[in-house]
Amino acid sequence: MSPIAITTSLFMVGPVLILFLCACIFRKKRVMLLSLAFCISMAEIVYLIWEKDNEKLTIMENIDAVEAHLQERYPGEEWILRRQEGVFLDHGGIEVIFLNELDEGYHYYVDDGKVRQSGGFSIEGADFERKHNEEN
């Protein structure tokens, strides 16, 4: 687990644990404190689901934009699109691998409706002639 995930987990679980401990100490306010802990937990769950759903929507919109850009720029060619992977990456990045250039891959980003190519990757020992490199 990454340090960011651990920190986030502590920030989300911490207040609930504190409320549970206070509920054990203050017996007269136990129901209120446990209810508050339950409400905070439910709010955190709803937020996490909303955030993940929003991320998936952004990725789908970016894939559609990159697909339209590639169809306009490279008609008649075929490619594979997937989301860019990595812990510290922008979740909207799209990786493109052209079927006539399998040794190379390209990174695309969508910024304010404009599709931009930002670098790429290649397998070891690949020919470094990048046929689909877009000079910005």
Helical H segments across 26-98, by residue range: 30-73
Does the pLDDT value for residue 83 go beyond 90?
no
pTM, 2 dp = 0.71
- 30-73 vs 3-25: helix axis angle to the nearest 10? 160
Does the pLDDT value for residue 136 go beyond 70?
no
Q: What is the pLDDT of residues 100-135, one digit of tens each?
A: 888 888 888 888 889 988 877 777 665 556 667 676
Domain count, the chain: 1
What percent of the chain shows pLDDT beyond 70? 87
* Domain limits for position 70: 3-122
What are residue 89's phi and psi, to 5 degrees? -90, 160
| Secondary structure class of 123 (helix, strand, coil) | coil
Q: Is residue 128 situated within a structural domain?
A: no
Which residues are registered as beta bridge partners of 125? none
Q: Is residue 132 situated within a structural domain?
A: no
Q: What is the pLDDT of residues 33-63, one digit of tens each?
A: 888 988 998 998 899 899 889 988 988 999 9
